[in-house]
Amino acid sequence: MSITISSPHLQAQVSENGAELVRLQDGQGRNLLWDGNPDFWTGRSPLLFPIVGRVKNDRIRVGGSEYELPKHGFARTSRFEVEEAGTSQCHFYLCSNEATLKRYPFPFRLDVSYRIEKTTPTITASVTNTGPSTMPVSFGFHPAFRWPLPFGAPREAHMIRFEREEAAPIRRPIDGLISRDAETSPVHGRTLSLRDSLFETDALVFDRLESNSVTYEASSGGSIRVDFPDMPHLGIWTKPGAGFICIEPWQGHADPEDFNGEFAVKPGVVLIQPGEARGFTMRVTVDSVGL
């Protein structure tokens, strides 16, 4: 089941499965999100919780014990409860249960809300620690936008413009883990020119990110701006030849190759005290040709 919300300029569908945004259309009915073609990738905009990326041997260590966790965690494959379903906003939640505690031994509540105002959908997630001990957590957004955008420009004309210059080296996943060795940033000034060859060795991981906003656009036509004020890391990914580009704001990332410690001290993990919550926000602003 999915819930539809809209403004005069945009329409979005959000599924109860994973509280995932599965469709985003502009005022002319053009689809801005990837369609989940299983020949490439079935995702559209999954939510990543309680980990981002992969952990070594697909296990986290908590208090000396190990717990098996799949890549990107379990929220994206969990059925959320619907708390609100309005015309322009909706609200979902997921609470820990017997199955989640076997993989992630912390009681929690994850609230996810979607709101559309004019040309901007805002997604807000809040993770509440409902247990008695400090809870380590990561969270990420994973939207897959169409590449090329449906505004008429060719694939090779597309780029991502960062809010600030991104001169720091990037990292790559190796068997899903973050490489020890960095490589020169492919961003020239503030511009990343998109080409399939960038992704032949998997995603670009910005773990020393300066920007909290990027704009995905072509040399002519419309654009999509992604703002992520609470997220210090960013992944950019596609499969060469696929019709999407993922722009992924993260709090945290996959395990570094040489990491063998407790989950609570993993780079990028945040700690939430009992009874407290941590929020994460992503805004997507559409500048649609002919709007």
- The 10s digit of each residue's pLDDT in 183-227 is 999 999 999 999 999 999 999 999 999 999 999 999 888 999 999
pLDDT of amino acid 266: 97
On the question of pLDDT at 290 being above 60, the answer is no
Q: Can you give the pLDDT at residue 221?
A: 85
Q: Which amino acid is at 258?
A: D
Residue 277 clears pLDDT 80, i.e. is over it: yes
**Distance between CA 78 and CA 91 in Å, rounded?**
15
DSSP state of 260: -
Judged against a pLDDT cut of 80, whether residue 291 lies above it is answered with no
Least Cα distance to 165 among 186, 144, 139 occurs for 186
Task: Give the tokens for residue 239.
Answer: 């499969």
| Predicted pLDDT at 56 | 96
In whole angstroms, what is the distance from residue 114 CA to residue 123 CA?
Answer: 5
Read off the pLDDT band of 246 (50, 70, 90): very high
Q: Given this model, what pLDDT does residue 288 score? A: 82
pLDDT of 40:
96
**Residue 289 predicted with pLDDT over 80:** no
Q: Which fold has domain 2-153+236-287?
A: Beta-galactosidase; Chain A, domain 5 (2.70.98)
User: Is the pTM here over 0.75, yes or no?
Assistant: yes
pLDDT (average), residues 34-53? 97
